[in-house]
Amino acid sequence: MIKQIAPYYDVVVIGGGPAGAVTARYAAENGASVLILERDREVGIPVRCAEGVSVTGISPFIEPDEQWICTMIKGASLHSPDGNFVEMYNNGDGYVLERRIFDRALVDLACSKGATILTKADAIGFTKNNDGEISGVQYRYLGKNYSVNCKIIIGADGIESQVGKWAGINTTIKLEDLETCVQYTVNNIKINPELCRFYFGREVSPGGYLWLFPKSEYSANIGIGICGIETKPNIGPLYYLNKFMEKNFPNASVSYTVGGGVPTKHGTDFVADHVMLVGDAARQVNPITGGGIVQAMIAGRICGETCTKALQANDFSKKFMSEYEKRWDKVLGANQRFMYSVKSSFIKMSDKKFNSIVGAVKSINQDELNLHALFKVALKEEPMLVAKMATSFLASKIKFDW
Ligand SMILES: Cc1cc2nc3c(=O)[nH]c(=O)nc-3n(C[C@H](O)[C@H](O)[C@H](O)COP(=O)(O)OP(=O)(O)OC[C@H]3O[C@@H](n4cnc5c(N)ncnc54)[C@H](O)[C@@H]3O)c2cc1C
């Protein structure tokens, strides 16, 4: 018999992406009753992601499974505007995921711990009790409105989050702190499947970067993110991406196109009475790489564990649940602030500077080229920023300090 939706759950999670799934899992694992409401008919679809993650980043959360690992990444190449490039290995492995399957696996894991998911369920607001206190979620399912009562609402509803607004949390993003992105998934190309490539420069991707993440020897996610303030009428990310494709992969066939935004200013306010935000909804992405999957999972774990504590204490106040903000800050706050400061300089960087960065890094012997060596040489060759930048792009060495 199909599991019925109950009138009450301890926790209702809005959004079934990585942030929502991991939050649900850790809350359910510790005994909370949890409902995930997902607007789409299936979790993980549509994919709005280049699908790159570090192995060390996701391994604490899920056992590797070849069903969602598309390619194993061994290195990265950095390309400067003058056509020069440097290949870097020895910095830890990465995966290009099959996110349709990965997101589903995370939700399956949450459900195996006791959570329930309802797809095609679009959250449309909160319900309140007679005292005006938040008491549940209203949602639309198959053309009808329903409500479910709960103690805690998790806003895991991604970049376009409404939950923060409903709760009165300021999640506004300035244009300069938003990367506008477009990506093609292409085939009919021939590439090294173990190497991610990054292209920089004002003619290539002003205030951002262009990426190629291999999905096989013959296919890849090729996309671009440019700073919001660099977008002009008819000259946006698609213009730059098409220019790149015509020059580098004129015979590529596009099987999937996706657009989206990435917040590049880290959030700091994630909590209100009865409500916590997590993942892109809380603006928890890495401000310089735009990577948000691992961050969403780290935050999800802390958020899920905070749900347990709040339920045990029967205290759902902003004050009590702000332990989540404090723990997040302890694990990743300093990193996020540092990345943001680097990003602010990065978006103004000249082509000349990009050329000299790649030139400087190229002088390192390939066998010795790891982050440590890069850092030392970059320090000698370039101002401090060079080292900061390279470290930011390649050191996805997230600390786990629970
Ligand atoms: C072009 C692009 C490329 C990217 N590449 C990478 C990359 O290579 N590596 C990386 O780490 N990150 C990347 N990111 C960022 C990454 O995709 C996000 O940081 C990540 O998906 C955040 O997870 P999340 O769970 O917070 O949000 P999401 O994955 O966006 O999930 C939010 C979910 O909430 C649902 N939802 C929204 N509103 C409602 C509602 N009202 N009711 C019910 N459900 C709702 C949505 O349908 C969605 O399923 C990229 C982003 C873009 C745009």
In a domain, 54, yes or no: no
Residue nearest to atom 53 of ligand 1 (CA): 260
In a domain, 1, yes or no: no
Looking at the fold, whether 242 and 369 belong to one and the same domain comes out as: no
Compute the distance from residue 85 Cα to the ligand 1 centre, in Å: 31
Looking at the fold, whether 44 and 119 belong to one and the same domain comes out as: yes
Instruction: Quote the pLDDT of residue 265.
Output: 84
**Closest ligand 1 atom to 213 CA:** 8
Per-residue buried b or exposed e for 50-80, using 16+ beta carbons within 10 Å of the residue's own CB: bbbbbeebbeebbeeeeebbbbebbbbbbbb
In a domain, 283, yes or no: yes
Looking at the fold, whether 132 and 240 belong to one and the same domain comes out as: no
Instruction: Quote the pLDDT of residue 391.
Output: 56
In a domain, 67, yes or no: no
Residue nearest to atom 38 of ligand 1 (CA): 157
Looking at the fold, whether 80 and 200 belong to one and the same domain comes out as: yes
Bridge partner list, 183: 223, 258
Question: How does pLDDT run across 256-290, given as a tens digit for each residue?
Answer: 999 988 988 888 899 999 999 999 999 999 988 89
Residues 6+ apart with CB under 8 A from 294: 53, 54, 57, 58, 396, 398
Q: How many CB atoms lie within 10 A of CB 390?
A: 24
In a domain, 274, yes or no: yes
Q: CATH number for the domain including 256?
A: 3.30.9.10
Q: CATH number for the domain including 125?
A: 3.50.50.60
Q: How many CB atoms lie within 10 A of CB 250?
A: 7
Question: How does pLDDT run across 354-380, given as a tens digit for each residue?
Answer: 887 788 777 777 777 666 665 555 555
In a domain, 185, yes or no: yes
- Name all residues whose Cβ lies below 6 A of ligand 1: 14-20, 37-40, 48-53, 122-123, 156-158, 162, 181, 183, 223, 260, 262, 279-281, 285, 290-293, 296
Looking at the fold, whether 335 and 369 belong to one and the same domain comes out as: no
Looking at the fold, whether 111 and 32 belong to one and the same domain comes out as: yes
C-alpha span between 376 and 369 (Å, rounded): 10
Using only C-alpha atoms, what is the Rg of the chain? 21
Q: Which residue has the higher pLDDT, 265 or 209?
A: 209
**Closest ligand 1 atom to 181 CA:** 1
Looking at the fold, whether 150 and 179 belong to one and the same domain comes out as: no
Range of the domain at 350: 342-394
Residues 6+ apart with CB under 8 A from 101: 44, 67, 68
What is the number of domains present in the chain?
Answer: 3
Closest CA relative to residue 304, chosen from 6, 9, 21? 21
**Closest ligand 1 atom to 19 CA:** 25
Residue nearest to atom 51 of ligand 1 (CA): 49
Per-residue pLDDT averaged across 140-166, rounded?
96
Total-model pTM = 0.92
Looking at the fold, whether 317 and 296 belong to one and the same domain comes out as: yes
Question: How does pLDDT run across 300-332, given as a tens digit for each residue?
Answer: 999 999 999 999 999 999 999 999 999 999 999
Does 46 sit behind a cis peptide bond, omega within 30 degrees of 0 on the bond before it?
yes
Compute the distance from residue 97 Cα to the ligand 1 centre, in Å: 14
Compute the distance from residue 276 Cα to the ligand 1 centre, in Å: 17
Looking at the fold, whether 29 and 112 belong to one and the same domain comes out as: yes
Instruction: Quote the pLDDT of residue 235.
Output: 87
In a domain, 273, yes or no: yes
- Residues of the chain with pLDDT > 70, as a percent, come to 91
Instruction: Quote the pLDDT of residue 358.
Output: 80
126: pLDDT strictly greater than 90: yes
Compute the distance from residue 159 Cα to the ligand 1 centre, in Å: 7
End-of-domain residue from the set 341, 362, 377: 341
End-of-domain residue from the set 219, 243, 263: 263
Instruction: Quote the pLDDT of residue 384.
Output: 55
Question: How does pLDDT run across 6-22, given as a tens digit for each residue?
Answer: 999 999 999 999 999 99
In a domain, 325, yes or no: yes
Give Cα 381 to chain centroid, integer Å.
Answer: 32
Compute the distance from residue 49 Cα to the ligand 1 centre, in Å: 7
C-alpha span between 391 and 56 (Å, rounded): 16
